[in-house]
A and B are shown apart, each in its own frame.
Chain A
Amino acid sequence: EAGVAQSPRYKIIEKRQSVAFWCNPISGHATLYWYQQILGQGPKLLIQFQNNGVVDDSQLPKDRFSAERLKGVDSTLKIQPAKLEDSAVYLCASSLATETGELFFGEGSRLTVL
């Protein structure tokens, strides 16, 4: 079974530029999550989708971050404009259902903002 796919694995940009990350969850998983993991910290939930609807985006900085999951399968997370403090690993995860705590994570996209 294919795992959660993310791209790109690494991205370096300058502040005020934009960046987009892509995630393809495990086939059949209805719930998709984007987490931000800053060095030395645990993952922080940015947004949670159930199919193509948003379940929780309370911690998403909506002035600069956006995410979509238009067809209920793959998803894109965008940052525009980027700030230095956005340097982090962006983890995508998926699960069969929203009530489970069993998440399957991708390898992450490491963003460095200079």
Chain B
Amino acid sequence: AQSVTQLDSHVSVSEGTPVLLRCNYSSSYSPSLFWYVQHPNKGLQLLLKYTSAATLVKGINGFEAEFKKSETSFHLTKPSAHMSDAAEYFCVAQSFPGTASKLTFGTGTRLQVTL
């Protein structure tokens, strides 16, 4: 069975400092992986995706993530946090149990950005 673990439920950083949101997955094969962001009272928005091409994936708003098969990780990073980055972030893995894909969501990491 596929699972996604987000190692931190809450991360707090100062504006201008680096962001690291950690995600580990469990799968019997190399899945497609995604990060979604959810701002307060908004729907989820796709940040970036990994689909077995380059292991370092760049997304919107300066975020990037690196797929490391040996560590079964897909951590999200950003060099310099901005106040507008404060949101909930979800790591998602995709599998294909049948003809349709199945998305497994992590429990989320709330990012707080302080002045």
List the interface of chain A (C-beta within 8 A of B).
3-4, 40-45, 48, 50, 55-56, 91, 93, 98-108
Contacts and interface: CB of A to CB of B under 8 A. Distances in A.
Contacts of A43: 44, 90, 105
B96 interface: yes
B100 to A, nearest CB: 4
Chain B CB within 10 Å — which of A40, A43, A98 has the most? A43
A contacts with B: majority SS = loop
Interface of B: 32, 34, 41-46, 49, 90, 92, 94, 96, 99-103, 105-108
B41 to A, nearest CB: 7
B107 A42 contact: yes
A67 to B, nearest CB: 16
Q: Which of B44, B99, B106 has the most CB of A within 10 A?
A: B44
A41 B108 contact: yes
Contacts of B107: 40-42
A30 to B, nearest CB: 11
Contact of B49 (A40, A45, A101): A101
A103 B92 CA distance: 11
Contacts of B100: 48, 50, 55-56, 98-99
15 contacts: A3-B43, A42-B106, A43-B90, A43-B105, A45-B102, A48-B100, A50-B100, A98-B100, A98-B101, A99-B101, A100-B101, A101-B32, A101-B101, A106-B43, A108-B43
Given A93-B44, A106-B43, 13 more contacts: A4-B43, A42-B90, A42-B105, A42-B106, A43-B105, A45-B103, A50-B100, A91-B44, A101-B92, A101-B101, A103-B46, A105-B43, A107-B41
